[in-house]
């Protein structure tokens, strides 16, 4: 940083259970640099920034910072605002007024975009400003990154949910559908397979937004699995679409309710699961069909944290400050897989990450589009952390049935 001044940090978009690790990593690292005077935290992301709602993070005890690091959800609060040009201009004016010389935004690709535009205003005015993006998203859809902070813990939640749901379904057989977050990228839904161990373990079918969801194929798939195992566990991404790219909720209403009067609510969170359950019930005449929509627990459930994810989330915060200070550069911290399993961190230009979406690569999805591959499992398992659980079953032999004959 060429100019002595203040630093500002904010959190944007949907929170994760490790987003405060990144916050605390950056704040504690920043306090080591004498040219940084104050470390401000903007409340509610860019929304609080333009309203000048800042807290002075240099007046936090180290004890409390470390406790807050372990809390799910954004400690500074977040926002869904996606700034347009004027909004970015307003952000820049506030930064200037507070002599902010480095601006760190923890968020997805929208945050990177915002930083990119704010930086352009700074350049136009010759104002020395470091604009730094710290990645975060449970969707794992940021380009340039092997994976993103927040994904590992959410993936662990989804995997553990399906491990339990699989055993529950084995106890009381039927069809179970779990609807997982992910509107465009299927990584989180795919993670449902990470806990599979025995050949008959579910989820037996996995549907991702990267493939067209065809109702007839779905019904055929469920029929085949159900005939084989007497039960079927299904993971579906909330973002699955039909061949025209329309969300399946719309499509299913046509399919299931041909005489509908249009009164089915399309926007409710439980609707997709309910409709997917109903089509199985009606077409396959299976009685016990249940659906769960995992919802916000996936990103906020207390106490389900991947230790690998926690460590990396902390490190991207620290590295963000180190990269910016050491090289006097703007950019986005990215996670690179450097071994099996090891990572290193790199710093790329903001424009490389901004506004782009990463999808599941071809080799992670099976040919039929209803499951993941071994390659995906190899990719995802290290991200779930070291505290991993194994399934055990009774091994006792059957008793011969001669007694009552």
Q: Judged by CB under 8 A, which of 146, 220, 242, 257 binds a second copy?
A: 257
- The reply to whether 300 sits near a second copy by the rule CB under 8 A is yes
Radius of gyration of the chain measured on its C-alpha atoms: 24
- DSSP string computed for 189-242: HHGGGGG--STTPSP-EEE-TTSB--HHHHHHHHHHHHHHHS-EEEEEETT-B-
For the bound state, the minimum distance from the C-beta of residue 347 to a second copy, rounded and expressed in Å, comes to 27
Alpha-carbon dihedral angle through residues 187, 348, 16, 149, given to the nearest 10 degrees? 60
- The reply to whether 285 sits near a second copy by the rule CB under 8 A is no
- The reply to whether 282 sits near a second copy by the rule CB under 8 A is no
Of 374-393, binders to a second copy (CB under 8 A) are 389-393
Q: Judged by CB under 8 A, which of 197, 246, 269, 329 binds a second copy?
A: 269
Give bridge partners of residue 178 from the DSSP assignment. 235, 292
Q: Which of 24/354 has CB closer to a second copy?
A: 24
- The reply to whether 264 sits near a second copy by the rule CB under 8 A is yes
Q: Which of 205/365 has CB closer to a second copy?
A: 205
Cβ-based burial of 313 (10 A; exposed 0-12, middle 13-18, buried ≥19): buried
- Part of the chain binding a second copy (CB under 8 A), chosen from 104-112, 298-306, 330-338, 374-382: 298-306
Per the annotation, the verdict on 139 as an active-site residue is yes
Q: Taken in order 75, 103, 348, 209, is the CA torsion positive or negative?
A: positive
Nearest to 320 by CA among 29, 13, 7, 14: 29
Q: Which of 180/343 has CB closer to a second copy?
A: 180
Of 71-100, binders to a second copy (CB under 8 A) are 71-80, 93-94, 97-99
Of 307-366, binders to a second copy (CB under 8 A) are none
- Part of the chain binding a second copy (CB under 8 A), chosen from 33-41, 142-150, 216-224, 352-360: 33-41
Which structure tokens are listed for 251? 């499509």
Collapsing DSSP states into helix, strand and coil, what is residue 36? Answer: strand
For the bound state, the minimum distance from the C-beta of residue 298 to a second copy, rounded and expressed in Å, comes to 10
State the Cα angle at 185 between 19 and 346, rounded to 5°: 50
Q: Give the per-residue contact string, 190-229, with a second copy (x = CB under 8 A; - = no).
A: -----x----------------------------------
Q: Give the per-residue contact string, 38-77, with a second copy (x = CB under 8 A; - = no).
A: x-xx----------xxxxxx-xxx--x--xx-xxxxxxxx
How far is Cα 69 from Cα 74, in angstroms, rounded to an integer? 10
Q: Give the per-residue contact string, 149-168, with a second copy (x = CB under 8 A; - = no).
A: -----------xx-xxx-xx
Size of the site for a second copy (CB under 8 A): 91
- The reply to whether 230 sits near a second copy by the rule CB under 8 A is no
Number of CB atoms found within 10 A of residue 264's CB: 16
For the bound state, the minimum distance from the C-beta of residue 306 to a second copy, rounded and expressed in Å, comes to 12
Give me the catalytic one of 81, 110, 139, 141: 139
Q: Which of 128/351 has CB closer to a second copy?
A: 128
- DSSP string computed for 127-160: ---EEEEEE--TT---TT-SS-TTHHHHHHHHHH
List CB contacts of 156: < 8 A, sequence separation 6 or more.
191, 304, 305, 306, 309, 384, 385
Which structure tokens are listed for 34? 């004498």
Catalogue the active-site residues.
139
């Amino acid at each position: 940083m060429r100019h002595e001044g203040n630093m500002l940090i904010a959190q944007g978009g949907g929170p994760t259970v490790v987003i405060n690790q990144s916050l605390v990593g950056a704040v504690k690292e920043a306090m080591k640099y004498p040219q940084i005077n104050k470390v401000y935290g903007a409340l509610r992301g860019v929304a609080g920034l333009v309203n000048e709602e800042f807290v002075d993070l240099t007046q936090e005890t180290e004890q409390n910072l470390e406790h807050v690091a372990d809390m799910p959800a954004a400690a500074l609060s977040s926002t869904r605002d996606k700034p347009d040009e004027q909004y970015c201009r307003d952000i820049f004016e506030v930064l200037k007024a507070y002599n902010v010389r480095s601006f760190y935004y923890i968020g997805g690709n929208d945050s990177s975009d915002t930083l990119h535009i704010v930086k352009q205003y700074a350049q136009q005015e010759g104002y020395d400003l470091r604009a730094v993006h710290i990645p975060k998203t449970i969707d794992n859809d940021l380009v340039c990154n092997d994976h993103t902070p927040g994904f590992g813990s959410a993936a662990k939640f989804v995997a553990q949910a399906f491990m339990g749901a699989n055993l529950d379904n084995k106890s009381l057989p039927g069809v179970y559908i779990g609807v997982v977050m992910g509107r465009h990228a299927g990584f989180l839904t795919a993670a449902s397979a990470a806990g599979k161990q025995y050949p008959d373990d579910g989820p037996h079918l996995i549907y991702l937004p990267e493939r067209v969801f065809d109702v007839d194929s779905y019904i055929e798939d469920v029929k085949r699995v159900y005939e084989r195992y007497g039960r079927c566990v299904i993971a579906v991404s909330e973002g699955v679409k039909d061949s025209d790219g329309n969300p399946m909720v719309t499509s299913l209403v046509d399919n299931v309710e041909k005489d509908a009067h249009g009164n089915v609510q399309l926007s409710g969170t439980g609707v997709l699961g309910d409709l997917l359950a109903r089509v199985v019930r009606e077409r396959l005449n299976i009685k016990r069909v249940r659906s769960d929509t995992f919802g916000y627990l996936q990103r906020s459930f207390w106490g389900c944290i991947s230790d690998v994810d926690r460590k990396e989330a902390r490190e991207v915060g620290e590295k963000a400050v180190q990269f910016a200070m050491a090289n006097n550069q703007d950019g986005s911290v990215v996670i690179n897989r450097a071994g099996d399993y090891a990572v290193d961190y790199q710093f790329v230009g903001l424009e490389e990450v901004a506004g782009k979406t990463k999808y599941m690569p071809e080799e992670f999805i099976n040919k039929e589009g209803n499951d993941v591959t071994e390659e995906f499992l190899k990719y995802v398992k290290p991200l779930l952390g070291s505290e991993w659980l194994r399934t055990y079953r009774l091994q006792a032999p059957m008793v011969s049935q001669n007694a009552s004959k």
